[in-house]
Chains A and B, each alone.
Chain A
Amino acid sequence: MVKIIVNGVQREVQAPDDTPLLYVLRNDLQLTGPQFGCGLAQCGACSVLIEGKEVRSCVTPVSTVANQEIITLEGLPARWAKQKGLSAEEAKDTLHPVQQAWIEEQTPLCGFCQSGMMMVATELLEKNLNPSDAQIKAAFTTEGPSPHLCRCGSYAAIIDAVKHAASLMGKGK
């Protein structure tokens, strides 16, 4: 049995130790934000944040992340609420600015890769609230385990959304 902390909640997992975290999240914990894209850490559809850093859950055995803080797409609003010290009432209807920006910029086409894309955006913007185009492209291409791939070609929309999210975060809402 492995104990993991997902989106601020401690969970006990019965799956064998070598089970990739992705299947634990999706099948055992019903956290379906991360998607299976390749199972090879080559696309980023399965990305989650572990201790604030992007990790490919499809190749990460669950036993290796015991007692570490895991954030999935489902946990982004609470992460923002905590960072901003929002009251429960304020937090109720508040999305993470990255999600809000993804909606306002109409970023997703099929959207299958976008959970992973939003994880990278969150990691980037938590470090750098004013990223340049080059820094955004690097974050999504060369800085992680592999480039984050979008087959529908939404890269320009993602760049727009990251910049919009940065401005929303700068305003603190």
Chain B
Amino acid sequence: MTTAAENTVKVYEATLSRRQFVKTGGALVVGVAFVGPSILKAQGFQAPKVTGAPFKNSLDPTQLSSWIEIHPDNTVLIRTGKSDFGQGTTFTAYRQIVADELSVPFEAITTVVAGHTDQTPDGSGAFDFLGRGTPNIRKAAAYTYQALLDLASERLSVPKDQLTAKDGVFSGGGKSISYGDLVKDQQLKLNIPVSGDLTGIMGLRVEGDPPMKPVSAYTVIGKSHPNSIITSKVTAKETWATDIRLPGMLHGRMVHPKTLGSTLFSVGQLDKSKFPSSQVVVKGNLVGVVALTEWEAIQASQQVAAATKWTEWKGLPGNEKLYDSLRKEADWTTAQVTKSNANKGDVPAALASAQKKLSATYHFPFMKHAPIGPTIAVADVKPDGTVHIHTHNQNPQALRGEIATMLGTTPDHVIVHTHPGAGHYGRSNGGNSGAEDDAVILSQAVGKPVRVQWMRAEDLQWSTQSPAAFADVEFALDEKGRIAGYQIDHYMPAFQDDRPIGAILAGLPTMPAPGGGSGFFASTANFLSDPWLYDLVPNVAERGHGTFQVGQKASPLAVGLRDHSMRTPGQYQQNYPRELAFSEAAALAGADPIQFRIDHAKEERLINVLKQVRDASGWDTRPSPRPGAKSTGSTPVRGRGASAMFRSGTYWACVCEIAVTPSTGAIAVEKYTIAVDPGIVVNPAQLKRQVEGGAMMGISHALYEEAMFDESGITSRDWITYPIAKMTDTPEFKVVLIHNPKVGAYGGGSEAANALAAPAIASALHDATGKVSRRLPLKRAYVQALLKA
């Protein structure tokens, strides 16, 4: 045993300890140390309680966990709890950010470890990757750099301020040393302060304030480095979650209840002569079938399902009566009414003295996340109680907590491995994507690993959805045609139900349903999520009203229409009525809709994105509707509309140009221009693809998407009954990326793009036809009816 002396040095809020004379290897390992609230307070931090940090099967948070390793061969490994869901951010932006903080080339970061709860340090969901400008990995890199700088100064006997770093080498005073040589034959450990809840939705946060590289020193950020996972995906070398096969594994399929409120009456008899290897598992209202082969499991589950009897239930309003039911029957009084921090002035007085006024209600439907592949998981419940789950999940650490709750054990017994799969767009960011708990229950029942994949209909009918909403808007124009007062009341059911559905059906413990807790995720309060943009409006009142999920209280299963955040949760439901109302206000004022927005804005970045999108789209400045607007005939009429949004540090504006055929109600988006100012553009090529993708999804939402349901459950069951955009819906895209380094931070690149289209397309419809649709989607039948009326 080596008994070398250990030095301990403070590096800002981090502690560096060194043990020399290690015989081989050596690495700088940046671990995490949990700092008690008192120490955090002494250092000036707001000190959230650190909870949920299991040691077994986790990176040991106090001693061995690692974010970043510098290796003697000058390569670097990084670990992040953020799983990739197609944004590519962990493989592009995260590497670029670390490379610049460390002053190493992009290529030096040879390994990105993500997605496994026992191999990554921080947790949280696959959302807001660059949010607030400082991902955890950036701070970890900044601490690492400071530690390396200390080491180099000591080794070279050159003061720190005389050393410069480039491409992984420190130079100064006529001497130089590479990072690899600095760490060679040493065992170095850097402890950094961390707070938060590992298995909570937001995970852990790296604390402290290490010096960061100035933006002017960036050499890697800003370049279009390729997304390394693409190659393995297009050459069939990637291991997808759908590809995981464990020894002795059985294939499982679920038999879901007949309705969202049905309980099990009797289980169908399995036909063993046809399905000899199959086995039925029943736990409460959860029914599943396992078999040796996937095809047998599918057929056997269908046979059992046809013979299984459930109680009837009709506790939903059905989509025809949805908005009536929400307004008249939902409980809007239990949850607190939320208010925007932009509220000011005296709106009632402004409305009373207005020259022109408008009051209107806007309707926003339930939409499905609708991943292109259904939820899939393989679970292996070992005899000693250890559970391995292979899945495709946006928040594996939170899933650990949920499975532990379900099994009555602690998270350290649960190990989650996340692999690539179909995008979820937020559906699994709170920890479960649907199949994981099913697979665990079946595996536990049969004592073997079980792979559960839902079929297409189940993935549409038993998953969560983005909640429906409506908003009442009133605004007033003064004699100059400016907005004198603006008032909006947003109504939306709870948006984040993270209870695993299999656990609910099986009667096993889960977290409470929304409304059973407090705060942003656990209450039914409807928080204002769409930052106010138009600072020059003198009187503003924005309020949020929340309620329970539709049908949840009436359902004997406590299920109903379960909701979940989707890309821009709440913000989407709030931005659509506001932006469409702003276009309507411009029309009422006889003003151009982009100039009208600019005239009510103070923020320079907002004004800039609006001007840039106006220029790039070749916008014709004039009021809507267009001269010659027409709502009849079988010849397409054209129109254009705009919208704007601020999300996660990023300003967005778009222009949609459409052609609508009044006789059929068909809308084609012909050209779609987007301007985006995220502050620092980290990877232009990747951001452009993210923006185009989000924008396309937004067109899909705007034109087609509405989850259909009757009194018993969701009736959308496939791509015919839940249509999404096709390639023929693709407009000519123009993406304007505004690199704005003086912001000094990077905003969120992809989430907001999907929300921009709906109000812009609805405004364009008004421009083309002179008629306003205040209801989504703008599908043919609705548009046709609107134009006929």
A residues with CB within 8 A of B: 15-16, 18-20, 23, 26-27, 31-33, 35-40, 42-43, 45, 72-74, 77, 95, 99, 102-103, 106-115, 118, 136-138, 140-142, 146-159
**Are A103 and B373 in contact (CB-based, < 8 A)?**
no
Name A100's closest neighbour in chain B (CB-CB): B234
CB of B711 within 8 A of chain A? no
Cα distance, A43 to B725, chains bound together (Å) = 11
**Are B234 and A111 in contact (CB-based, < 8 A)?**
yes
**Are A42 and B719 in contact (CB-based, < 8 A)?**
yes
**Are A151 and B724 in contact (CB-based, < 8 A)?**
yes
Chain B residue contacts of A36, Cβ below 8 A: 242, 373-374, 453
Name which of B150-158, B214-222, B341-349, B695-703 contacts chain A: B695-703
Chain B residue contacts of A112, Cβ below 8 A: 240, 371-373, 421-423
Name B87's closest neighbour in chain A (CB-CB): A109
Cα distance, A116 to B183, chains bound together (Å) = 47
Chain A residue contacts of B233, Cβ below 8 A: 108, 111, 114
Cα distance, A19 to B606, chains bound together (Å) = 57
Name A120's closest neighbour in chain B (CB-CB): B727
Chain A residue contacts of B728, Cβ below 8 A: 137-138, 141-142, 147
Chain B residue contacts of A148, Cβ below 8 A: 726-727
**Are B295 and A37 in contact (CB-based, < 8 A)?**
no
Chain B residue contacts of A147, Cβ below 8 A: 726-728
CB of B54 within 8 A of chain A? no
Cα distance, A103 to B91, chains bound together (Å) = 14
13 residue pairs A–B, Cβ–Cβ below 8 Å = A20-B295, A23-B295, A27-B293, A42-B720, A45-B372, A106-B686, A109-B423, A111-B420, A113-B372, A149-B719, A151-B372, A153-B699, A159-B727
* Interface magnitude class on chain B: 35 or more
**Are B423 and A152 in contact (CB-based, < 8 A)?**
yes
**Are A110 and B700 in contact (CB-based, < 8 A)?**
no
**Are A149 and B423 in contact (CB-based, < 8 A)?**
no
Known contacts A19-B293, A42-B456, A137-B728; can you find 10 more A-B pairs with CB under 8 A?
A35-B373, A36-B374, A37-B456, A43-B719, A112-B371, A140-B727, A152-B372, A152-B696, A155-B727, A156-B730
**Are B242 and A152 in contact (CB-based, < 8 A)?**
no
A152 and B697 in contact (CB under 8 A), knowing A42-B719, A141-B728?
yes
Name A111's closest neighbour in chain B (CB-CB): B233
Chain A residue contacts of B168, Cβ below 8 A: none
Cα distance, A26 to B451, chains bound together (Å) = 14
Q: How far is the CB of B220 from chain A (nearest CB, A)?
A: 17
**Are A106 and B453 in contact (CB-based, < 8 A)?**
no
**Are B236 and A72 in contact (CB-based, < 8 A)?**
yes
Chain B residue contacts of A150, Cβ below 8 A: 372, 696, 727
**Are B236 and A74 in contact (CB-based, < 8 A)?**
yes
Name B695's closest neighbour in chain A (CB-CB): A153
Cα distance, A149 to B726, chains bound together (Å) = 6
**Are B231 and A103 in contact (CB-based, < 8 A)?**
yes
Give the 8 A-B CB pairs with smallest separation, nearest first: A153-B696, A110-B86, A110-B423, A109-B86, A112-B422, A153-B693, A111-B233, A147-B726
Cα distance, A159 to B695, chains bound together (Å) = 16
Name A58's closest neighbour in chain B (CB-CB): B456
Name A116's closest neighbour in chain B (CB-CB): B372
**Are B689 and A118 in contact (CB-based, < 8 A)?**
no
CB of B60 within 8 A of chain A? no
**What sequence of 0s and 1s flags, for each residue 411-449 of chain B, a beta carbon within 8 Å of any chain A beta carbon?**
000000000111101000000000000000000000000
**Are B689 and A106 in contact (CB-based, < 8 A)?**
yes
Chain A residue contacts of B240, Cβ below 8 A: 32, 35, 112
Chain A residue contacts of B535, Cβ below 8 A: none
Name B460's closest neighbour in chain A (CB-CB): A38
**Are B235 and A110 in contact (CB-based, < 8 A)?**
no
Chain A residue contacts of B423, Cβ below 8 A: 109-110, 112, 151-152
**What sequence of 0s and 1s flags, for each residue 200-242 of chain B, a beta carbon within 8 Å of any chain A beta carbon?**
0000000000000000000000000011011101111010101
CB of B588 within 8 A of chain A? no
Cα distance, A47 to B420, chains bound together (Å) = 19
**Are B234 and A16 in contact (CB-based, < 8 A)?**
no
Name A139's closest neighbour in chain B (CB-CB): B727
Contacting residue for A73 out of B227, B236, B242, B694, CB 8 A:
B236
Cα distance, A99 to B238, chains bound together (Å) = 14
Chain B residue contacts of A157, Cβ below 8 A: 689, 692-693
Chain A residue contacts of B231, Cβ below 8 A: 103
Cα distance, A6 to B699, chains bound together (Å) = 38
A151 and B295 in contact (CB under 8 A), knowing A43-B719, A118-B234?
no
Cα distance, A6 to B693, chains bound together (Å) = 33
Cα distance, A36 to B235, chains bound together (Å) = 17
Most buried by B among A15, A33, A72: A33
Contacting residue for A111 out of B86, B685, B727, CB 8 A:
B86
**Are B86 and A152 in contact (CB-based, < 8 A)?**
yes
CB of B487 within 8 A of chain A? no
Contacting residue for A153 out of B88, B243, B420, B700, CB 8 A:
B700
Q: How far is the CB of B725 from chain A (nearest CB, A)?
A: 7
**Are B234 and A114 in contact (CB-based, < 8 A)?**
yes
**Are A156 and B692 in contact (CB-based, < 8 A)?**
yes
A99 and B727 in contact (CB under 8 A), knowing A153-B695, A153-B697, A157-B689?
no
CB of B294 within 8 A of chain A? yes
**Are B719 and A109 in contact (CB-based, < 8 A)?**
no
CB of B455 within 8 A of chain A? yes
